[in-house]
Amino acid sequence: MSLSRAIIYPVARRFFAGVNLGPALERIKEDNTFGIGATVDFLGEDVADTSEAEMAKAEYRRAIEAIEFEALDASVAIKLTHIGLDISSILAENNALEIAAVAKERGVFLWVDMESSEHTDSIIKIYRKMLSKGVPAGLALQASLKRTWDDIKALTADGARIRLVKGAYNEPPEIAVQDMGGIRARFIDMARYLLDSGASFAIGTHDLLIIDRVREMASGADRVEYQMLMGLRDSTKKKLVREGLRVVEYVPYGADWYGYGIRRLTEKKRNALYFVQGLMGR
């Protein structure tokens, strides 16, 4: 292990379950005892080799099968660049549909993560294909992207289940809102739209201002799922569960833990604050 990895590991270890699936399953079991669900995230993205995409597909399948076998309260999140989107949209679609077929057969919900803006159209297209196959699946949409209002209305009309997030990627001002106040306002307005539409949806955020506002708007409605990363806002997760709300922890695992930790710390200044708060158990 290099010096930089050795330094970051003790901090990063709080925020991912382990290198292999086993520790992730143990974390999920622990979460479930507290009434917290989980979404498994096999770390990795932007693969440029077909063999890597095949390996990732096999690991996603393994995670789905383990969740069903262990009867866990958990779903699986996939990244389409992890299964070949940068190589070929056809390859990614075929791999996604194969994973989706396993998820449908095993009764495990599947989340499709959103990635940087150059992939948005391809990801939505493949997600729609999954919906057409009757797969129980949801899609992350980023409130910061200016196009998201159109996407959220069209997808909700088609019966999509949305996970609303702020957006972690650095996008240019032509296509994305840059100021946090504007992003937060859009997020809350989109959550209100989803509530008014009658849809079941998730919010993925550690922003207490957003969480509290959505709780107020939802007035205890059980159609909202509150998702947060492993190691962050742990006390908030348990508090929301005590209030009878649905809480899900995002549980990452895999050999790409270093890249994951560094990205979380550097892509947005606010994330660094959340990590520090996580270390303090807030």
Q: What's the pLDDT tens digit per position in 205-256?
A: 999 999 999 999 998 778 999 999 998 999 999 999 999 999 999 999 999 8
- Tokens read off for 114: 């959103």
- How far apart (Å, rounded) are the C-alpha atoms in residues 38 and 66? 13
Q: Kindly give, in sequence order, each residue whose CB lies less than 8 Å from that of residue 152, ignoring residues fewer than 6 positions away.
A: 141, 162, 164, 190, 193, 194
Identify residue 113 by its one-letter amino acid code.
Answer: D
For residues 75 and 39, the answer to whether their CB atoms sit within 8 Å is: yes
Please give the positions annotated as active site: 113, 163
In order of their start, the domains of the chain are 3-279 (3.20.20.220)
Region 182-188 average pLDDT: 98
Identify residue 174 by its one-letter amino acid code.
Answer: E
Q: What is the pLDDT of residue 198?
A: 93
- How far apart (Å, rounded) are the C-alpha atoms in residues 20 and 17? 8
- How far apart (Å, rounded) are the C-alpha atoms in residues 202 and 130? 19
| Number of helical H runs and strand E runs in the chain | 11, 8
- How far apart (Å, rounded) are the C-alpha atoms in residues 73 and 246? 11
What tens digit of pLDDT does each residue of 90-149 get? Answer: 999 999 999 999 999 999 999 999 999 999 999 999 999 999 999 999 999 999 999 999
pTM equals 0.91
